[in-house]
Amino acid sequence: MGSVSLNIRDGTARFRRATLCSSAVHLLMLASVFTTNLFALYAFTSAPSPSAVPAFFRHHPGVGGGRGNVSVISDHVSLIVREIEASERRLHMIERELAGYDTLDTSKPSLPSELKLFLAHHPLPLGRDARSGITEMVASVAHSCARSPAAELLARYMSYRPAAPCPTDEYLLPQKLVAKACEPLPRRRCLSRPAASSAAIPRLSFAQSLWNPGAKNPGAGIYGIDKQMWVKPRSKNDFLIDDVLALGSGGIRIGFDIGGGAANFAARMAERNVTVVTSTLEIGGKPMNEFVAARGLFPLLLSPAQRFPFYDSVFDLVHAINALDEGGAPSLGQASRTEALEFFMFDIDRVLRAGGLFWLDNYLCADDHRKRTVTRLLERLGYKKLKWVVGEKADASSSGKTQIRLSAVLQKPARSRTESHSPENR
Ligand SMILES: *[C@@H]1O[C@H](CO)[C@@H](O)[C@H](O)[C@H]1NC(C)=O
Ligand SMILES: *[C@@H]1O[C@H](CO)[C@@H](O)[C@H](O)[C@H]1NC(C)=O
């Protein structure tokens, strides 16, 4: 998070899907607002014309009676004005709702000053940049941060003293915010305090450090050191790392492991001179990133809701264990939604080069329907199945349900630039 990002446009707006029902309600409300305004317009424009003055006015221009009737009319007018104002407020609300987001109101006094400073637009010191045409830098936080309860959490998160040690009392706060689609996190100006356990421990040199990181093993399985995976298969769904590398016929040099836990995959790849970046979250406050770094590997703190911070077609290999379901992060809607899966899969496709490999490793399908959805999507993307294994075994924990595991190595096709690639067209 230490980098300065130049956000020209606000890339973090998240839009809600308008349902058919809510669209109908919006239309109805718009219509009602419109007719009220029409009626008001009519009342105003027609009143001054003499012909429109009520009959009793013209026939009884007497002072007392006229004034009484005028006050009745002015009562009506003020009623209409109030109605118009209410309609405008409603219209404003509808507009916000249709746009799909709320924005942080930086004029609110309850907002911590550090957050206001962070969100303020900064003019470029040398004026307009000729190449991009921009004149100021804009820091962004997701619009979801403005909503309750994220807004309260954000205010708490941003209440700190600049240049002083960062507060550590609520160490799960960042994770809670990210889980509410509030990112990037805007805390940028305090001194971080690493866990005492990792302070000043000497590191072994690389390759030795892979399996002796000199840091406390944070967990088990993919969340801790595992020396079996990809070298000693436990089931037919486990592929050998060397077999997969052979499928890439020597062209696998850099890779991305999504949701890679303690980075065992990157460690095995490093032994084979393949550089792998591991995205890993601080699950339950466990210091996963610190651990991966202690192994001499590259940790990337990245929530599943984010677009991958890499340019198109850069990786030879993308590896994912169960990240597919995390693709349905809160901000992307329910995990079971096909769209949530597509946001994720199309992004994998984007960062993978043509001819590169996507290794879907032991993906635990929630049910057969899910398996079919994933299969269909991969086929629509036109990937070549180099390996494809569906394993079923009885779920040990629950009553007689079978677990479906899908493992596959798929090769991204070369697509011509002009080829229209809407999956529906295929
Ligand atoms: C309005 O004018 C009518 C006719 O002159 C009169 O009868 C009536 O009392 C007036 N109303 C008021 C509220 O003064
Ligand atoms: C990795 O690179 C080093 C240095 O170039 C080389 O000595 C070693 O054999 C390579 N290892 C593998 C598995 O290719």
Q: How many domains does the chain have?
A: 3
What is the per-residue DSSP string for 17-78? PPPHHHHHHHHHHHHHHHHHHHHHHHHHHHTTSGGGS-HHHHH---HHHHHHHHHHHHHHHH
**397 within domain boundaries:** yes
Q: Which residues line ligand 1 (CB under 6 A)?
A: 56, 60, 65, 68-69, 72
Per the confidence metrics, is the pTM higher than 0.85?
A: no
Regarding whether 151 and 92 lie in a shared domain, the answer is no
From residue 355, give the alpha-carbon distance in Å to each of 160, 165, 242, 246, 266: 48, 47, 18, 13, 21
Question: Is 122 contained in some domain?
Answer: yes
Q: How far is CA 112 from CA 151, 163, 170, 174, in A?
A: 11, 15, 17, 16
| Nearest to 266, CA basis, from 307, 225, 235 | 225
299 in any annotated domain: no
Domain co-membership, 42 together with 132: no
Asked whether residue 336 is domain-assigned, the answer is: yes
Ligand 1 center to residue 388 CA distance, Å? 89
Do 136 and 95 share a structural domain?
no
Residues 323 and 385 in one domain: yes
Domain assignment present for 207 = no
Q: Considering every ligand atom, which ligand is closest to the CA of 64?
A: 1
> Which of 122, 156, 155 lies closest to 137 in space, CA to CA?
122
Q: Assess whether 95 and 14 both reside in one domain.
A: yes
- By C-alpha distance, which of 349, 339, 418 is closest to 373? 339
Q: Which of 56, 57, 59, 70 to mutate to test the pocket of ligand 1 (most atoms within 8 A of CB)?
A: 56
CA of 273 to the centre of ligand 2 (A): 6
For ligand 2, atom 14, the nearest C-alpha belongs to 272
H-helix or E-strand spanning residue 319: strand 315-320
Q: Tens digits of per-residue pLDDT, 32-58? A: 777 777 776 776 665 544 554 555 455
Atom of ligand 2 nearest to the CA of 272: 13
Q: Which ligand is nearest to the CA of 245?
A: 2
CA–CA gap between residue 46 and residue 229 (Å, rounded): 82
Q: What span, in angstroms and rounded, lies between the C-alpha atoms of 121 and 10?
A: 12
At 388, which CATH number? 3.40.50
| Same structural domain, 343 and 419 | yes
Residues 173 and 312 in one domain: no
**pLDDT the model gives residue 388:** 95
Residue 91 sits in the same domain as residue 125: no
Q: 55 alpha carbon to ligand 1 midpoint, in Å?
A: 12
Q: Are residues 328 and 376 in the same domain?
A: yes
Domain membership flag for residue 244:
yes
Q: Which ligand is nearest to the CA of 273?
A: 2
Domain match, 360 and 399 both: yes
pLDDT one-digit tens code per residue, 6-26:
444 444 434 444 445 556 667
Task: Classify residue 288: in a domain, yes or no.
Answer: no
| Pocket residues: Cβ below 6 A from ligand 2 | 272-273
| Per-residue pLDDT at 81 | 94
Per-residue pLDDT of the chain (426 residues; tens, 9 = 90+): 333 334 444 444 344 444 455 566 677 777 877 777 777 677 666 554 455 455 545 555 544 455 677 888 889 999 999 999 999 998 888 776 665 455 677 777 888 888 888 888 888 888 888 888 888 888 878 777 887 788 889 999 999 999 999 998 888 888 888 888 788 888 889 998 766 655 567 888 999 999 998 888 888 888 899 999 999 998 999 999 999 999 998 899 999 999 899 999 999 999 999 999 999 988 777 889 999 999 999 999 887 778 899 999 999 999 998 767 755 454 455 556 778 788 889 999 999 999 999 999 998 887 888 889 889 999 999 999 999 999 887 666 666 677 888 999 999 999 887 665 554 444
Burial of 145 (0-12, 13-18, 19+ CB in 10 A): buried
Same domain, 311 and 368: yes
Q: Which ligand is nearest to the CA of 272?
A: 2
**Same domain (yes/no): 356, 327:** yes
Domain range holding 132? Answer: 113-179
pLDDT of res. 252: 96
Domain-embedded: residue 19: yes
Q: Report the residue among 252, 273, 274 best suited for mutation to probe ligand 2: largest number of ligand atoms under 8 A from its CB.
A: 273
